[in-house]
Chains A and B, each alone.
Chain A
């Protein structure tokens, strides 16, 4: 069974600073994908970044980057130069075999002006 764990229910960061959100997962699959989704107060789910497990290089998307440690089954999200619009719930998600997504419980991030 796949599980996704986010151990930080809430975090805060000063505007323009850097913050890292943690995620660990457990799976017996060898080929899978990992995602970070953002859910602002509107509650829409927005894809932030995606990582393929077979790729060693960490994914980056502008101010967002991941630290993917396959052996440790760890997938953290780093947000650089935090902006007020980054305030949201962030969900880590796992997908194996191009099937459904398994989500973690989320981290509520607040960016403080």
Chain B
């Protein structure tokens, strides 16, 4: 069964450094998402992406964040200058269609630790 993959599984970085989190969505999916979960808290939406542009973003997704689909398979989340409060689990998700009772499939997550 196809699945969403994410790399790395764990990333440790120094405050102020840039990080890029990578995701490979399911191959015939068209809509892509990033969510984050601070330890012990609920999962929060960051951004959705379709047709090579951002569809929707939350208040969390400020100028420090950006997303890109650099090729036909990868979907990346970049944090330009990490802060301590960016430490969280970051989940990528994808779905095939919009406007249907379709499901978002989640990747296994990347644990980001900012020191």
A contacts, CB < 8 Å to B = 33, 35, 37, 42-47, 50, 52, 91, 93, 95, 97-106
B18 interface hit (Cβ, 8 Å): no
- With A91-B42, A103-B42, A106-B42 in contact, do A45 and B106 touch (Cβ < 8 Å)? yes
Place the interface of chain B in its size category: 20 to 34
Contacting residues, chain B, for A33 (C-beta < 8 A): 101
Q: How far is the CA of A101 from the CA of B94 in the complex (A)?
A: 12
Give the residue name and chain of the B residue nearest to A99 (CB). B56
Give the residue name and chain of the A residue nearest to B57 (CB). A100
Contacting residues, chain B, for A35 (C-beta < 8 A): 103
Contacting residues, chain A, for B105 (C-beta < 8 A): 47
Task: Give the shortest distance, in Å, between B96 (CB) and chain A (any CB).
Answer: 11
Give the residue name and chain of the B residue nearest to A6 (CB). B42
Interface residues of B in 25-81 (CB under 8 A from A): 33, 35, 37, 41-45, 48, 55-56, 58
- Contacting residue for A98 out of B37, B43, B102, B108, CB 8 A: B102
Give the residue name and chain of the B residue nearest to A52 (CB). B101
Contacting residues, chain A, for B33 (C-beta < 8 A): 100
Task: Give the shortest distance, in Å, between A62 (CB) and chain B (any CB).
Answer: 17
